A = this chain, B = another copy of it.
């Protein structure tokens, strides 16, 4: 789970730009709204270093699907959201039939808001071993992508960085592509469990033992890495900021005073705290199911 920064969501960064600012130079931005289904898709492509610097994000494509209900109890709604996610995921992967893909679930199965990755893995219908056993004719008959999966565990349980383990597996089994699933941190509580971000820039697991922690991206793994994430937490410091911002605005107290106060006192223990909704357990299970459905639709549609 990535809670080190203020937000993992490109769409929130864009919102943070000065009001009235258009999509920056070096970026292209596109919005789609499926009105009758209440699904909003925002696609931001950051195409040069300067824009990347301004946004504090890597060069690449960021697709944000805002779909209330993606982690809700209504299965039909989730199915519909999964179809849109599958469509967007295929935009990033390109045609995959006959290729080989490793899906990695990041995060800690034992810590509810961080369990998105492992729970998604549980819902996958992996096909690699079936294709090895039943052969090319089986693969062709069902137009399958060969895909396999691992829940990478967490440092304190394995003694390994996720990145180290995944790198070993990638070198040995040589997938054409890696898809990494992780829980994200958002800036706004309204996004928890309602937004999926898909990006082809890879993933940077939560701050850990410093420099040993490896990113999962093309540079480290040698193959493209698509990251799929759902915000499940907000930093405690962020939620304070959100509320106090409203207060300062309303009362006309200068923001500077607050900033000075923060500089002087630090955020202290708030850094070790996170904020989640009360129904986080269902939220994470259902978001995991939705993403697993989307992946299954992409890679073994005719089997499930």
Chain A residues at the B interface, C-beta cutoff of 8 Å? 3, 108, 110-113, 121-122, 126-130, 132-133, 146-151, 153, 155-161, 164-165, 167-173, 189-190, 209-210, 212, 234, 236, 239-240, 243-244, 246-247, 250-251, 253, 257-258, 261, 265, 269-270, 272-281, 285
Asked if A272 meets B278 with Cβ closer than 8 Å, knowing A128-B160, A158-B150, A240-B244, the reply is yes
Query: Which residue of A132, A147, A265 has the most chain B CB atoms within 10 A of its CB atom?
Result: A132
- Minimum Cβ distance to chain B for residue A217 (Å): 16
Q: How many copies does the complex hold?
A: 4
8 Å CB contact of A165 from B127, B150, B250: B150
Determine if B278 and A3 form an interchain contact, defined as CB atoms under 8 angstroms apart.
yes
Determine if A277 and B270 form an interchain contact, defined as CB atoms under 8 angstroms apart.
no
Return chain B residues, CB-CB under 8 Å to A272: 277-278
| Shortest 4 CB-CB contacts between residues of A and residues of B | A148-B159, A168-B172, A126-B159, A128-B159
Query: Which residue of A258, A265, A281 has the most chain B CB atoms within 10 A of its CB atom?
Result: A281
8 Å CB contact of A275 from B108, B210, B236, B279: B236
Determine if B153 and A150 form an interchain contact, defined as CB atoms under 8 angstroms apart.
yes
Q: Sample 28 A-B pairs with CB under 8 A, ordered by A number.
A: A111-B281, A112-B112, A122-B157, A126-B159, A127-B159, A128-B159, A129-B156, A129-B160, A130-B159, A132-B212, A133-B210, A147-B159, A148-B158, A148-B159, A148-B160, A150-B160, A150-B165, A165-B172, A168-B169, A168-B171, A189-B236, A236-B239, A239-B239, A240-B240, A243-B244, A251-B257, A251-B261, A273-B278
Return chain B residues, CB-CB under 8 Å to A258: 247
Query: Which residue of A108, A132, A172 has the most chain B CB atoms within 10 A of its CB atom?
Result: A172
Determine if A133 and B275 form an interchain contact, defined as CB atoms under 8 angstroms apart.
no
